[in-house]
Structure 1
């Protein structure tokens, strides 16, 4: 397709396919000064004279990491607009890669939802349809508040970790030790924990509710409330949790699956399988890192963070403000 479609709004942004580059008259009429190419292809540089040109070499496949490029593409688009000119964003057909990139700019500029931005874009170019992988990345970009540095975002880091797990699983291997993300080392505060899980034999705290994997359709709030007053996954035989630092010795051995022992009394408290495992509720969880409900006691979390038994980030000290926040959370249980 050779059409040059203007994105609705008060910004001078256009979207199209690569054949639109031949329409020099349309470019001149639209006062286009910047061209952003979002495709992996050798391009004739003469096509881009006298424009400012940027190329992002990506394929239109669902596992392509386009998210990491959006801070730089957003900056390029904004520079073109600030200069008083127009910006043309294209891929091969003006359908998926370019559409996702324009949507990423709209998310940052207008603080709207990905679907809202896509609906807006389709008013000008109905064929716009980012692939499912790009739409998921747009949702992540929105959740992390469209930062200028996505790589430092915990949301991005966790997404990359899950990609590593999936790649390892596809190869029938465990993730490399340096790729495993231990969530309690990346969480800035544990004050939101509503309950903790302790070894039934020695009472050593093993995890808190904030590290639970919500693996079923029902949320914790929708589940049966037991006598402790805490929501519980009553239909499941296991608690599925994130990798935690006390599991490091076992998880970094490179085994695809194995058992988890309480670090204090060495009782078998769970198991793991990087390729995933099926819960008793029928849900398949990847990766499967589980604590057995028959070996765990669920109790209300203590008011002060150190009592939760999860290692606090270095340098994070108690303060009166922190203690007050903890009490407030406890009262809302």
Structure 2
């Protein structure tokens, strides 16, 4: 069954597309297939434009980083702007097609992920994007409906999802690694309050979360090589996780991969780019954090980018926010006699 979602935008399963006559009934001019298999050439109707985007209905299918969501939105937009009627379909018109149409609705009407899906359900009640797709729609919303490499690279929410879904890169040579590798530049400390999905309870994966979301006082800090004083990272590049006992782990300096590092392999050592002093090590596959003596961690951190505290000098300053706050007054104790 073909259902109209918006003017010129429809959703269906593969059966209606292969049957042919339902397309003519609804004056369909464009067909977008978001599936594992394209519409066979011998089943295509003349005067209808067919476009195929490969995607599996799996919760770990990356529609954002893989480009499928952006490509789908662009195709629907172009078809509608040309005055055509576009049908988006997957296998049964429940998850993949609904996700792409929801993304289009979100961008067009500035809807939240939840509101867009509910809007589509009014016309097609059976739609139900899988959990991984819905999370990506929420990420799309947090990116203000824009998908590009820079936006994804700046999204902690997207990085956390990549880590938890198994989409984190296996080495620094993969295109996906560009999303994780950061430039050495100091942004406003307030940006550390960016969107986060929270702390994972899983013992297998630790999400990247900013210090502010763990209840820390925000500080604009920078880490320098203990030997030559070359700046290595700023406070915004620090990542934190919680030990299995729920307390914040303070083991070494765990930071995001940086462009000055040679992290092209699966794992290796980290050296100062100026004096070549050994500072730590990295592993794209992650490692089990041992924690400090007396405070064992045992959480698996992915990716693992660790600098030894003895090799780094940290310089901390108050954030602009803290400097604007009035001095905290001490409350006198009340003594009851």
The TM-score, its normalising length taken from structure 2, stands at 0.66
For residues 176-219 of structure 1, the C-alpha deviation after alignment (integer angstroms, 9 at most, x for no partner) is: 3887548443x6753437112234566543211111224349xx
Say whether 1:176 aligns with 2:173.
Answer: yes
User: Displacement, 1:156?
Assistant: 5.6
Q: Within 5 Å, give how 1:1-333 maps onto structure 2.
A: 3-7=1-5, 10-21=6-17, 26-45=22-41, 46-67=43-64, 68-147=67-146, 150-155=147-152, 169=170, 174-176=171-173, 181=178, 183-185=181-183, 190-192=187-189, 194-199=220-225, 203-216=229-242, 235-248=249-262, 251-252=263-264, 254=265, 256-258=267-269, 260-262=270-272, 268-279=278-289, 280=291, 281-301=297-317, 331=323
User: Would you say the 8 A contact 1:183–1:211 is kept in 2?
Assistant: no
Aligned length: 279
Residue pair 1:100, 1:138 contacting (<8 A) in 2 also: yes
> What is the TM-score of this pair, normalised by structure 1?
0.67
SS at match of 2:104: helix
* Aligned-residue offset at 1:90: 0.5
Q: 1:238 to 1:112 in 2, by over 3 A?
A: farther
Shift of 1:23: 6.2
Residue 126 of structure 1 and its aligned partner are, at CA, apart by 3.2
Alignment check: 8 A CA contact 1:151 1:157 kept: no
SS in 2 for 1:71: helix
Contact 1:215 1:240 in 2 (8 A): no
C-alpha distance in 1 between matches for 2:63 and 2:101: 12
Contact 1:34 / 1:51 at 8 angstroms: preserved in 2?
Answer: yes
Which moves more between the two structures, 100-109 or 117-126? 117-126
Range that drifts further, 151-160 or 196-205: 151-160
Q: CA deviation at 1:299?
A: 2.8
| Aligned mates of 1:6, 1:24 — CA distance in 2 | 17
CA separation in 2, counterparts of 1:57 and 1:144?
A: 23
**Whole-angstrom distance in 2 between the partners of 1:79 and 1:247:** 42
Which ranges in structure 2 are unaligned for 5 or more consecutive residues? 190-218, 292-296, 326-337
Q: CA deviation at 1:40?
A: 2.8
Is the helix fraction higher in 1 or 2?
A: 1
How many Å apart are 1:4 and its aligned residue?
A: 1.7
Separation (CA, whole Å) in 1 of partners of 2:230 and 2:4 = 61
Alpha carbons of 1:272 and 1:12: their partners in 2 closer, same or farther (altered >3 Å)?
same
